[in-house]
A and B are shown apart, each in its own frame.
Chain A
Amino acid sequence: MNGRRPFVLYTAMAFGYAFLYLPILAVIVYSFNESRMVTVWGGFSTRWYGELLQNRQILDAAQRSLLIATVTASFAVAFGTLAGLALARFGRFRGRGVLGLVTSAPLVMPEVILGLSSLLLFVSLQGLIGWPERRGMTTITIAHITFCICYVTVIVRSRLVQMDQALEEAAMDLGARPWKVFFVITLPLIAPALIAGWLLAFTLSLDDLVVASFTSGPGSSTLPMLIYSKVKLGVTPEINALATIIIVLIATAVTIAGIVMHRSAARANR
């Protein structure tokens, strides 16, 4: 192989990865800074993590966000699996075009539009039928499920497409009814995709600022909303610590899930 080109390639790659990771690494490093001055290194300390755990406001918001993310992810996986199944397995059916559109458009739709349109729906519904009475965790969750379904659909669908459809046909041929085929054959084989989809939906919901800002009501600030209001005031060590916790948690979960999925995919493809 040409000796010069890989060098250029590797340099480009090294810069790319450095660009992706240096800012995050800086946040993590400075979260252990003793000094309140975020520019001066005052020695290693976990002091800001301790202060974080005393902060009622942050803990409340975190609890709220985790609850929303859990519910969102579970519903998104249920709906997304059905949508992925329909798109990958049912061939042509009425409504396929619409389903294809509504499960892919939210992937690229700017968040401000998703947020505003959800809010206007809720406000109009309230005027028309009196529900939802007030905005808060329920409305945030409903809006989050909407865009998370699409990510789950993409993952489940591509997994189903990779899976040999003859497996399901064989089960049916051997006497299993469609629902049984789904639970005994399809579901166990796409389980890794469901885990990945759940995790992705969970983090997307946990991370979301814009849609939550539009659809939340008084007293239901989520963690990102709280972070945003603090970030607007400047960089603080507490936020560094909080960001570090979130990043490390998510990175760990994703890495473990990735390893599990990779193993099972390797086994299935052997």
Chain B
Amino acid sequence: MWATVVADLFRFVGTWGREIRDSRGRHLVTALPLLYLVAFFLVPFLFVLKISFATSTIGQPPYTPLFAWGEDGALTIRLVFENYRALLGDPLYVGAYLNSLWFATVATVVCLLIGYPIAYGIARARPAVRVVLLVLVILPFWTSSLLRSYALIGILRTNGVLNQLLMGLGIIDQPLEILHTNFAVHIGIVYNYLPFMILPLVATLMRLDFTLLEAAADLGARPASAFLRVTLPLSIPGIVAGSLLVFIPAVGEFVIPDLLGGPDSLTIGRVLWTEFFTNRDWPLAAAVAVAMLALIVIPIMLFEWLNERESRRDEGRASGAP
């Protein structure tokens, strides 16, 4: 009798101890990546914000301190809004902003127009073919945008492959000046970001039940109208996800406009790079980054929200109703 009581007591204490240990394990699992990303992704933004309010000086580091201890021991904070005034006042920066938005918008629309038929074709292909087509879309995604932009230079140059081809075919007799123009930047961004548009679209379209189209046809809808009224509305989640995946990084793109664009293809990414590396004006570069963030923070929130909703729905489907 007493033995069982003692045994139960031990078991009880042991259970609690183990549960605490296991929940500690859970905390550890969560805390490690969380702390890393907070420290090296989230916290840095505070420093960017801080330094954007400093003044550039010659020294190491090349900016003035924000907080200083006065001789009387009082803390003085010097906030300089000069950088932001420059951003808003100087047509160079405003122009770069508008350029970036324009490049990103055009890229999003063109990627959607090219990407949708490809995604549709992939989603409707036989499974074996689909895998091959998908891999072919994913492969370029694994090569760097630097190398792919470099590859485009070879195509678009005055004496590049494209001009040689067109002149060889007798379509033109003067080489086209494409490289180092805004047009080249458009091509470059579309070329680089196309897979980002296709992949979410394929994911959405593959989930789409194609018997819905047969039902629509059965009810008298012509293919075009079935597409507009059934397929397109149901693929909106993929369209939004793909558009965000193209638009947001394209706004801040540096490599493509730098390599393919001309001197007037100025984007925020290039301005930031130049201020930082060429002019060594770190505070101004930080202010440019803050302004860029302000531009994309809403799309990023939208992206995060969509992402979370999507995964939760998948989780709900996987675990089933409780």
Contact = CB atoms under 8 A, between A and B. Distances in A.
Direct A/B contact, Cβ within 8 angstroms: yes
A177 B26 CA distance: 13
Nearest to B315: A161
Interface in B99-137: 114-115, 117-118, 120-121, 131, 133, 135-137
B299 to A, nearest CB: 8
B: interface residue count bin: 35 or more
Contact of A80 (B26, B33, B318): B33
Nearest to B18: A177
A231 B259 contact: yes
A26, A158, A161: which has the most chain B beta carbons within 10 Å?
Answer: A161
A155 to B, nearest CB: 12
A38 B152 CA distance: 14
Contacts of A27: 147, 150-151, 154
Given A117-B289, A164-B318, A24 B47 contact: no
A235 B157 contact: yes
Contact of A9 (B18, B22, B121): B121
B249 interface: yes
Interface stretch (A42-50, A51-59, A97-105): A97-105
B40 A121 contact: yes
Contacts of A145: 36, 40
Contacts of B195: 20
Q: Specify the main secondary structure of chain B where it touches its partner.
A: helix
B41 A105 contact: yes
A116 B135 contact: no
Given A16-B115, A203-B142, A146 B33 contact: no
Interface of A: 2, 5, 8-10, 12-13, 15-17, 19-24, 26-27, 30, 38-39, 79-80, 82-83, 85-88, 90, 93, 95, 98-114, 116-118, 120-121, 123-124, 127, 142-143, 145-147, 149-150, 153, 157-158, 161-165, 177-179, 200, 203, 206-210, 213-214, 224, 227-228, 231-232, 235, 239-240, 243, 246-247, 250-251, 254-255, 258, 262
Interface of B: 18, 22, 25-26, 29-30, 32-34, 36-38, 40-45, 47-48, 50-51, 61, 114-115, 117-118, 120-121, 131, 133, 135-140, 142-148, 150-155, 157, 159-161, 164, 191, 194-195, 223, 244-245, 248-249, 251-255, 259, 268-269, 272-273, 276-277, 282, 285-286, 289, 292-293, 296, 299-300, 303-304, 307-308, 311, 314-315, 318-319
> Considering the complex of A and B, which 5 residue pairs feature the smallest CB-CB distances, nearest first?
A110-B252, A207-B144, A117-B44, A23-B151, A83-B33
27 contacts: A12-B121, A13-B121, A16-B114, A16-B115, A20-B140, A82-B29, A83-B34, A90-B26, A95-B30, A102-B42, A104-B304, A104-B307, A108-B245, A108-B300, A109-B248, A112-B272, A112-B273, A116-B289, A118-B40, A120-B47, A145-B40, A161-B314, A203-B143, A207-B147, A209-B144, A227-B147, A235-B150
Given A27-B151, A116-B48, A258-B135, 14 more contacts: A19-B191, A26-B161, A80-B33, A83-B37, A88-B315, A93-B26, A95-B34, A105-B41, A106-B41, A114-B41, A124-B51, A178-B25, A207-B144, A243-B151
